[in-house]
Structure 1
Amino acid sequence: MSFNRKDLGTAESAAWGAFVAAEPEFAATVQSRFDAFVHHTLATLRKDGSPRTTGLEVRFLHDELWLGMMPGSLKALDLRRDPRFALQANLGPEAEMTDGDVRIAGRAVEVRDPQVIAGYADVVQPPDADAFHLFRTELTEVVRTYIEDGKYLAVQLWKPGAALRTTRRT
């Protein structure tokens, strides 16, 4: 699949594949946190600017991070109006955070190309392959917070165009 990237504003952003190329080990850790559970938490902005949090499934396909949504869902309408989002990986039933807390921020671009939508539907098999919203993500930030060596709170931060940065606190 290939995509035409639109100008999404002034903040630098990158597709999932660019993140993987820049930081393969960190990207693998982030993806494994999302792969550990089916449902995650998405934050979008309502018309009045207040946050909306909802659950959703995410998919990593063809070097992209995809957000698929039911037709007419409020989160899809939010993203059409304002593409900014934050996505947090499910912490699990006990919130142990064994591999850390992982969050991704960015902008979601709705895909309207029928061939791309059909290709996604062939793999994912949504309930109605002809009626769903599909968004491709442009990452502006990826963060992982975890306990390192049993004594440090470590925060890894990646932004497009910058090196992975790790800070530690005792």
Structure 2
Amino acid sequence: MALLKSAHGGNIREAAALLGIAPGELLDFSANINPLGMPASLRQAIVDNPGCAERYPDVEYQQLHQALAAHHQLPAAHILAGNGETESIFTLVHGLKPRRAMIVIPGFAEYRRALQTVDCEVVEYALRERDGWQLTDAILDALTPALDCLFLCTRTTPPACCRSGACWKPLRSAAGR
């Protein structure tokens, strides 16, 4: 049974109340929120552009898709934007509707939750302490044609575990099998 009623990270008020402490006494690592606060440049941009907050943003993210596509020289259809990572994960899973997917654990719980909503069989690939909880080439043997997708997150993302980018090529090759 979960201690918190909320399934989503970032609910430090509920956690603080449960612990009997002030929310300011907690450092929250359950959500992608900068513990150092908002950068001064962003704060100033908000102050300088109050009109932008007076209308609802583009709910289809079309302008964002176009800008990111142009910047990264990709088709806009290859860009997925959302109102937070959880929305993006659920949108992706509901679009792909995988039958069998692998998640690397420990990792972000939302991948499993999203996959369960489409009745996907979830296969776990557990990181090992002896490997420093980092992804190794051993995952390549676990990637089989029976998998429809693989989710890598937090420290298990290739840039985090393979700073040179050298692990992308074997993962792409394995995905093509």
> Shorter-chain-normalised TM-score: which range?
under 0.3
Between Structure 1 and Structure 2, the one with more helix by share is: 2
TM-score, normalising length: structure 2: 0.21
TM-score, normalising length: structure 1: 0.21
